[in-house]
Structure 1
Amino acid sequence: MLDHLITHDDSLRMVPTDRNELTTAVGQLHEELRALPEGSDPARARVLTRWIGIGQMCLGNHEEARATLRQSLDLAAAIGNTRAVVATGLNLGDAHRYAGDVRTAAALYRSALNTARNQHPELVDFALQHTGKHLMERGDLEDAQAHLQEALRLWIAKEEAGLVESTQAALARVGAADRAGPR
């Protein structure tokens, strides 16, 4: 929905490709959300709140990102969409990580990874990659490397070239951080 307006910076965090365009697009999603009729399908509200939250996170609006992604996660749980619970939980984890709340981020990543392993094995690779990046930023390089290597094996098996490349970039950062040693 907003993928074309989001890229990754040198720290492998999501950032806007064009801040003004992303701001406009997020505003349009807000308008669509507000225009949903009372009693409409909550699945659409869930999708909209998820993308609004992702956009806000990329724009650095952490408080709004966390509130909106929490709303999306609650909607996913309420409608019983565990696949969306995993994906949105990872996004909410990112929003907390970007805001510096590593404890909440860790709990969200752990929950998403456990749910993926138990109910949605097709999402384990995403959960591993998000968790691996979190561990890398925390300085837990050994665990980060293990998570990212497992994600890489899964991406290779799925023949997901772009995701293989992004995971290799994360692994390279872990290796560079490990060679640099403790700060």
Structure 2
Amino acid sequence: MPRSRIESLNWRAKLPNLSQWWRASKLLIAVCLLVLVAGFAGAQWQSRADADERAVLISRFPTVRADERRACEREFTAKVAGLEGMNQQATQALSDIRAQMEDTHEVVAYTLRFLGDRAKLTDARQAALIKQARQAAAAATVAAQKTEAVEQKVTVATAKAVEAASTAKAVDKKLDTAVQPALPPQPWAGNRR
């Protein structure tokens, strides 16, 4: 047989010893077990650390909740106080507007009374003038018929005209010196600043 053939058949001789394999496998198993034990211990240690951290966080929950509650109470108390202040301001503004409206109503009523009184005086003056003018016209018509009666009536009409003029002057004087009602204590709403 050729030598290469013999060497190929003797492959078992080239293999390492079985006891060496056994030792290497025991070493590999021991290393794996050490890795497993170290991993298990690390996992236990990590889970204990997580549990401790969880316990610390859980023990802080009441404190955190109380702090959060106090913060919310402060915030909402401030908001409620602000809303109450705005409500008071709105109430004050409404009462101011009502007072201005009352003042405006008083000024309007005063103005209407004054204008009504002035219109009555003007109407009375114009009625007196119209009456006197009619009387003068009637007297002039009668005077055209009779000269003597005309002169007499002209004197009467002149006297009446003088009286009417003095009445008109008196009415004007009364109108100019008419006592105006007292103004309201507050100025008109449009003049407020």
**Class of the TM-score when normalised by the shorter of the 2 chains:** under 0.3
Is the helix fraction higher in 1 or 2?
Answer: 2
Q: Which has the higher contact order (CA 8 A, sep 6+)?
A: 2
Q: TM-score, normalised by structure 1?
A: 0.18
Q: TM-score, normalised by structure 2?
A: 0.18
Q: Which has the larger radius of gyration?
A: 2
